Amino acid sequence: VKRELAAVLMFESHQRAGTVLFSQGDKGTSWYIIWKGSVNVVTHGKGLVATLHEGDDFGQLALVNDAPRAASIILREDNCHFLRVDKQDFNHILKV
């Protein structure tokens, strides 16, 4: 599994704090691992529900359940970096 995962990881970088990575209700297309930086997890009605940091991951539930995003992800700081696995690759890895 590690080899398959290493083959499909993509690097993604965002420059500005406040950038919305994805919004609650969006279609789930990727799983993310925070390489550098931190993000806020925000939901309608509850507001801020969690803060995630380097090494944390998010986004897999929408892929596993084939459901819309349950929360919005907003960058807390400038220059955040992520490792990303897209849905098709994620599903393939789960079958290995």
Instruction: Identify the CATH number of the domain in which residue 54 sits.
Output: 2.60.120.10
Tokens for 82?
């992520």
As beta bridge partners, residue 83 has 11, 33
Angstrom distance (rounded) from CA 62 to CA 51: 18
Q: Is the pTM of this model over 0.85?
A: yes
pLDDT in tens, 60-89: 999 889 899 999 999 999 999 999 999 999
Angstrom distance (rounded) from CA 55 to CA 7: 19
Angstrom distance (rounded) from CA 81 to CA 66: 25
Enclosing domain of residue 18: 2-95
Q: How far is CA 91 from the centre of its chain?
A: 15
Q: Of 41, 36, 1, nearest to 21 (Cα)?
A: 41
Q: How many domains are there within the chain?
A: 1
